[in-house]
Structure 1
Amino acid sequence: MAAAWRFALGGLAALALTTGASGCSGMTPGDAGPEEGAALPNAVERPSRLIGDGSTAETGPQPRQPKPRRLGPGEKPPQFVVFSWDGAGEDGQKLFSRFRAVGRKYHATMTYFLSGVYLLPYGKRELYDPPRHAAGASDIGFNDVEGVRDTVRQLRGAWLEGNEIGTHFNGHFCGSDDGVGTWTTEEWMSEIRQAESFVKRWKTNTGLRNEPPLPFDYSKELVGGRAPCLEGQHNLIPAARAMGFRYDASSIGGRQVWPRRTGGIWDFPLQDIPVPGEDFETLSMDYNFLANQSGITKGDPSLRDEWGDQMRDGLLAGFNRAYRGNRAPFFVGDHFESWNGGTYMHAVESVIKTVCGKKGVRCVSFKQLADWLDVQDPGVLAKLRTLDVGEAPKKGWGRFLGNRPAASHASTRKASGKDAGKRDGSDGKARRADVRRAAE
C-alpha cells in the first residue's frame, strides 16, 4: 500500500468495486471502473434516503476515498497533484465523460467545480437572483433539460468513482464594476446558497422525475470552490468558512510551496509555472496558456500542436521541480473547452498519463488533499513550508523530517500577494501577464 495513504472502503467495498477506480496511484489495475458507454452506477444500488424533492440522496460515505495518516519521522511526503475543472458540465463535446474515463484509466481522482446554473434550465433562469445583477442574468449560459440530464449523469458517476464535486458558483460575473471581485461576504453567501439549491432541486426545475438522484447531500459534500476569474477571494473566504468550506482555490499567482490556511481554511492557489522557450511564467491553467499564445481569439491552426506541446511541457516542468524538490502539491486548473482545436485537452491528458503512475505520486482531489493536510503534525507542515520553490532538503528527507519540530508556525516563510508576482528561486523570471480567466 502506498506510503501515507490507505483506502477505506468500509461496508461499501462490494459496491465500490463496481463503480470505478478513480483513486490514487496505489490502486491496482484490476480495480478499473466501467468503460464509457457502460451503465452508470446510480444511487439505487446503495441504501439511500431521498432529500427534498429527490434530486439528491444520502447514500453513505463516498466510495474510493483514501484514508490519510500522518507522515512518519523522516518519511518523504507524497507528491500530490490536483487536476481540477472549472464550470464542469457535459455538453456536445463530451469532455466531462472523456476525462472521467481518463481518470479511471490512470487512477487519477479529480475535482470538478460545477457551475450551479448548469443544473438550471433556461426557462427557469429567473430563479437565479445574482448579487448586483438582475434576476435571470448570467455571463455564462444556462442549460436545457437534456443538458441538465447529461450533466447530472456525469456528476453521479464521478462522485461514485471517488471524485470531488466542488463549486464554480453560478453566473461567472467578472470585472471591476459589479463582478465577483466587488461582492460582499453576504453576497457571496447568497451565491453559495443558490449554487447548492440548484443542485438540490434539479428535478423540480427540469421535470426529470424518473432520473436517479445524485447519491450525496450536496450541503455536506460541498467543501470548496474556485471563484470566477479568480477574483473576490478576500470577501469570499469568510463566507466560505461560514458555509462549511474547508478550502478555497480562488487565489492567483501562487508559488510552488506547501499550502497554508487563510481565514481558517486551506488556500490552494493556481501556481506560477514555467513557459518553455520563454523568459516568463504563467498560471497553471489552460486559459492562461491560451491567452499568452493566441489571446482569447481563435489562433493559427498551424501552431496548435506547438501550443499544446508548450503547455504540456510547462506543466511537466512545474511538476518535476516539485517532485524533485520540495514536494509541494502541484495544482492544475482546466476547462471543458476545445480552445485552439482541443490542443490543451490533449496536453492535460498527456500530463495525467505521464505523472499519475510515478512512484510516490498521488493524483487526488482538493478535498482529499485537505484531508491529508488536516491529519499532519502542524510542526511538520511548518517545516515543509520553509522549503522554497524547487528546493529539496539539503541533507535528505530522512534528516529533514527525522525529528519532530515544535508545533509552531513562527519559522514559516510568508508569501504575500506581492511576493507571488516576484520570482521563485527557479529562474528569477516573472510571469508575463496576470491573466485571469474571463470565459468558460
Structure 2
Amino acid sequence: MSRLLLSTCLSVSLLIPAIAEAADRPKQLVIISFDGAHDNALWLKSREMAAKNGAHFTYFLSCTFLMNEAAKKAYQAPHQKRGKSNVGFAQSDDEIRERLGNIWHAHLEGHDISSHACGHFDGRLWSEADWSAEYATFHATLENAWKSVGLQAPAGWQDLVDHGIKGFRAPYLSATAGADMIAAEKKAGFSYDASLVTKGPAMPVEEDGIIRFGLPLIPEGPSEKPIIGMDYNLFVRHSKGEEDTADSTEFEDRAYAAFKEAFDKQYAGARIPLQLGFHFVEMNGGAYWRALDRLVSDVCHRTDVACVSYSEAIPMIEARGKLERTSGL
C-alpha cells in the first residue's frame, strides 16, 4: 500500500468516529416564549422574526386582552374585585379583532398558543378551586372571543380552544406551593407547565402527569451574576425597572452576550434545551427584543439546532429518554 493511500485511509478512519459522534448528538433545542401576548405590533414583529429564522415560539396569552367593556365588568378573579386586572383589558373591539387575527395566524404558522391565565394575579396562595375558576374563565373568554366582537370564529378555532392550548405559565412565575395548581392544570386539560425557575438550563420533569419546565438562571454582566433568563429581570437589573433608552445599545449587548453564552455552553456540552422568556413590551428601548433577534438569527438556521415551541420540544425530549418523572410529593 502506498504511503499516500495509507495516509488517506488513516485520515478517513479518524474522521468516521467524529462524524458518528456528531450524528448521534441530539439537536440543541431553543425554546422562546412570550408572556401576555397583547400588543398587536409585537405580534406581527415576533411572527416575522420567527418566519425569517425558521423558528416557532410559544405565546402565553393573558385573556383579559380579549375582553371588551362588557366582559371586563363581568370578570372577577379569585379573591379580587369584579372588573380588576393587573395588566388591564383590551381598549376596543377593533383591537380585539386584530389580536384574534394574530393569534389565529400564529397558530396556523405552527406557534404554540398557551395560557397565562387572565388578570395576571399572584396565585401563590390559591386553592385548586381558585385555579380551576381562572382556567374556566380563560377557556370561556377564548371560546366566545370572536362572537363578542361581532365576528364568526374561523373553522378550527373551537378545536384550538378545546384541545390545542396545552401549556400554562403562572403570572410572576408564582406557582402554588403544593399540588393545587398542578391538579387544576390536569383537570383543565393542560399537558405542560412552564412556571418554574431552575439553577441553570435543566431538563423538564413530569409531575403527576404535567410536564414542568423552568426558566434558567444564566450568567450575565461583567460579574456574570446569575439572573433568570427573561427580559423583565434584565430590565430590573440594568435600569432598576426604569426606562433608559440612552443606554439601550449597552443593555442589548449585555443581554445578547448572556443569551449567547448560555447557548454556547449547552451547544458544546450536554445540549440541554435553552429556555428564554420575553414580554410584549420593548423595555429599555427594545434592547431585549433586539438581543433576541440577534440570537435567533445566529443560531436557528443551524442544522443541529431547533428553535421550537414547548409543545414541539416535548416529544423531542421524550425521544432522548431524558424526561424525569416524579410524584410531586
TM range (shorter): 0.7 to 0.9
Could you state the TM-score of these two structures normalised by the residue count of structure 1?
Answer: 0.65
Q: What's 1:303 paired with?
A: 247
Indicate whether 1:119 and 2:63 are aligned.
Answer: no
Aligned equivalents of 1:302 and 1:339: distance in 2?
12
Q: What's 2:296 paired with?
A: 352
- AA in 2 matched with 1:107: G
Alignment of 1:233-244 (within 5 A): 233-234=176-177, 235-244=180-189
Q: What's 2:10 paired with?
A: none
Q: What's 2:94 paired with?
A: 146
Shift of 1:193: 1.0
- AA in 2 matched with 1:189: S
Shift of 1:211: 6.5
Shift of 1:241: 1.6
Helix, strand or coil at the partner of 1:136: coil
Q: How many aligned positions are there?
A: 302
Alignment of 1:13-412 (within 5 A): 75-91=24-40, 94-143=41-90, 144-173=92-121, 179-206=122-149, 208-209=150-151, 212=154, 215=157, 216-234=159-177, 235-299=180-244, 301-374=245-318, 376=319, 380-381=321-322
Sort the Cα spacing of 1:340 and 1:180 in 2 relative to 1 into closer, same or farther, 3 A.
same
* Residue deviations 1:289-337 (CA, integer Å, cap 9, x gap): 10111111222x3311101110111011111111111110110100111
Residues 258, 381 of structure 1: 8 Å contact kept: yes
Sort the Cα spacing of 1:233 and 1:354 in 2 relative to 1 into closer, same or farther, 3 A.
farther
Aligned equivalents of 1:287 and 1:199: distance in 2?
27
Residues 286, 335 of structure 1: 8 Å contact kept: yes
Aligned equivalents of 2:304 and 2:277: distance in 1?
22
Aligned equivalents of 1:114 and 1:286: distance in 2?
17
Q: What's 1:61 paired with?
A: none
Aligned equivalents of 1:326 and 1:257: distance in 2?
10
Shift of 1:227: 0.7
* Residue deviations 1:90-126 (CA, integer Å, cap 9, x gap): 34xx011011011111000110111111111133202
Shift of 1:165: 0.3
Could you state the TM-score of these two structures normalised by the residue count of structure 2?
Answer: 0.86
- AA in 2 matched with 1:182: L
Shift of 1:204: 3.2
Residues 231, 279 of structure 2: 8 Å contact kept: yes
Provide the aligned C-alpha RMSD in A: 2.1
Helix, strand or coil at the partner of 1:113: strand
Of Structure 1 and Structure 2, the greater strand share is in: 2
Aligned equivalents of 1:213 and 1:290: distance in 2?
40
Unaligned runs of 5+ in 2: 1-20
Helix, strand or coil at the partner of 1:250: strand
Residues 53, 297 of structure 2: 8 Å contact kept: yes
* Residue deviations 1:257-311 (CA, integer Å, cap 9, x gap): 3222123211110101110312411011001110111111222x33111011101
Residues 125, 176 of structure 2: 8 Å contact kept: no
- AA in 2 matched with 1:167: S
Residues 223, 367 of structure 1: 8 Å contact kept: yes
Shift of 1:172: 0.7
Aligned equivalents of 1:257 and 1:227: distance in 2?
19
- AA in 2 matched with 1:227: A
Helix, strand or coil at the partner of 2:33: strand
Residues 233, 251 of structure 1: 8 Å contact kept: no
Shift of 1:254: 4.3
Shift of 1:213: 5.8
* Rg comparison, structure with higher value: 2
Residues 44, 102 of structure 2: 8 Å contact kept: yes
* Residue deviations 1:106-155 (CA, integer Å, cap 9, x gap): 00011011111111113320221210002211111110211111110101
Aligned equivalents of 1:325 and 1:233: distance in 2?
33
Shift of 1:182: 1.2
Of Structure 1 and Structure 2, the greater helix share is in: 2
- AA in 1 matched with 2:85: S
Q: What's 1:47 paired with?
A: none
Residues 183, 232 of structure 1: 8 Å contact kept: no
- AA in 2 matched with 1:190: A
Between 1:209-218 and 1:263-272, the stretch displaced more is 209-218
Sort the Cα spacing of 1:310 and 1:137 in 2 relative to 1 into closer, same or farther, 3 A.
same
Q: What's 1:397 paired with?
A: none
Percent identical among aligned pairs is 27
- AA in 2 matched with 1:243: A
Aligned equivalents of 2:108 and 2:33: distance in 1?
17
Aligned equivalents of 1:210 and 1:227: distance in 2?
30
Q: What's 1:396 paired with?
A: none
